[in-house]
Structure 1
Amino acid sequence: MPRSNRLFEIIQILRAARVPIRAEDLADKLEVSKRTVYRDIAALQAMRTPVEGEAGVGYMLRKGYDLPPLNFDEEEIEALHVGLAMLIRTGDGALQQAAARVSRKIANVHDAADWLQVAPWGAPQDDPELACVSTALLRRAVRGARKLRLTYVDKEGQQTTRVLRPLGLIYHVECTLLAGWCELRGGFRHFRTDRMLGADLLDQSFAGEAAALRKLWREQEDWNYIFSP
């Protein structure tokens, strides 16, 4: 999580707290070390954010401190509520956690549209304890234009290991596909995340080619339904 996002998240956690929050509890929520939390608290205090407390006791945000409101109309709030809730169908655990954080931020300044419910059934959860490949790792590879070594089993049960230039993720109702240029086959291929046996992020970058490859992939595969506001 980028530091700016983490500082904002600390403020949100402290705003919602009724009792002081210990550094170790903040560290668990943010998945960072206590030392990082101490540095972040010091940075917030240096920016005159009214965080009170000390190490070993806990931290609170002084009453009356607030952030600028999010200006959404009623239908925009309902659209956000449904869209964020539907992320549970992707099986992407990291996106679901991010959606929960966004939902908390919205709920702090707007009434929750909890009368809008979304059924949770969809792609299987990318649980690392079940030896699943993390969808967050795949997104990181696409975002950073980093090559990926993938161990994969196709529908015929054949296992291969190949190097990809990952270009995009397509969230279907029951599965998620990784699209990429396959160096083994010399062409665009799509890989179901539920057939991946392993994925390693490589140091090799293809940043100079990513935009052109993605454009060619979208043209060849005719991904015209991609949401574009």
Structure 2
Amino acid sequence: MSRAERLLELLQLLREHRYAVTAEHLASELNISTRTLYRDINSLRAQGACIDGSPGTGYLLTERFTLPPLTFDDDELLALSLGLKWVVKSTDPELVRSAKRAHAKINAVISSSSKIKLNHHGITVLKKPVTDPNLLIVRKSIQLGVKLEIVYKDLKDKISTRIIWPCALGFFDDSAVIAAWCELRQNFRHFRIDRIESIIELESYPIAPLQLLKRWQDETAINLG
């Protein structure tokens, strides 16, 4: 993370707290020393951020800073809210945290009336949260282009070991499904993530992830939108 990115992340952490937060907590969240945190606080203050507090008492952002006002109509706010709720209930822990941060960022820059519409609209996502520990591994393998060795149980409960090149991940009501090139079958196959018995990360596969995704789309005629 560059220093500029770290300063933006620090600013966002301060936005997310209504009360003073300690330097130790902020430094831990950013994985930096408290000495570096103090320097970053001073840098933000020099750029115009209104940050109250001092070492030992904690820090509080007293005014909104740098972000321009955002306006959404009622349906846009509803779409954002439902989309973020779906991510929280359907994906891996890293994306869940990202969705919650995104929600906090939106809350930080919209009006009071819009906050009510974003957070209190009576419409929700009635879905059992996904807890499969393999979701994060699969998502990262798609992003990085990494092969996976899986032990897989098919619909007939037949067990097989496959080496796959994941290229897409789709979420359905009852499961998530991986689209991948299968070395055993020498073709694209689809695997339900809840039928994976074990999973091991291997080396990178010999093609760019986006190229593999395009090949899968061309062969299956599936449009991801």
What is the TM-score with the length of structure 1 in the denominator? Answer: 0.77
> Equivalent residue for 2:138?
138
Q: Which amino acid is 1:121 matched to?
A: K
The 3-state SS of whatever aligns with 1:119 is: coil
Q: Which amino acid is 2:39 matched to?
A: A
Please, which runs of 5 or more residues in structure 2 have no aligned partner?
none
CA distance in 2, matches of 1:172, 1:3: 39
Answer whether contact 1:169 1:177 (CA < 8 A) is retained.
Answer: yes
Identical-pair percentage: 30
> Is structure 2 residue 115 aligned with structure 1 residue 121?
no
CA distance in 2, matches of 1:7, 1:124: 33
CA distance in 1, matches of 2:128, 2:177: 13
Q: Which amino acid is 1:119 matched to?
A: V
> C-alpha root-mean-square deviation of aligned residues, in Å?
3.0
Deviation of the 1:117 alpha carbon: 1.9
Bigger mean CA deviation after superposition, 145-154 or 99-108: 145-154
Answer whether contact 2:148 2:202 (CA < 8 A) is retained.
Answer: yes
Give the 3 Å change call, closer, same or farther, for CA 33–211 of structure 1 in structure 2.
Answer: closer
Answer whether contact 1:170 1:178 (CA < 8 A) is retained.
Answer: yes
> Equivalent residue for 1:129?
none
Answer whether contact 1:153 1:195 (CA < 8 A) is retained.
Answer: yes
Answer whether contact 2:168 2:180 (CA < 8 A) is retained.
Answer: yes
For this pair of structures, how many residues does the alignment match?
216
Please, which runs of 5 or more residues in structure 1 have no aligned partner?
127-131
Answer whether contact 1:146 1:201 (CA < 8 A) is retained.
Answer: yes
Bigger mean CA deviation after superposition, 66-75 or 140-149: 66-75
Query: What pairs up with 1:128-207 in 2 under 5 angstroms?
Result: 132-133=133-134, 135-206=135-206
Deviations 1:149-172 (A, max 9, x none): 223222222333322111010111
The 3-state SS of whatever aligns with 2:161 is: strand
Deviation of the 1:119 alpha carbon: 3.0
> Equivalent residue for 1:104?
104
> Is structure 2 residue 89 aligned with structure 1 residue 92?
no
> Equivalent residue for 1:46?
43
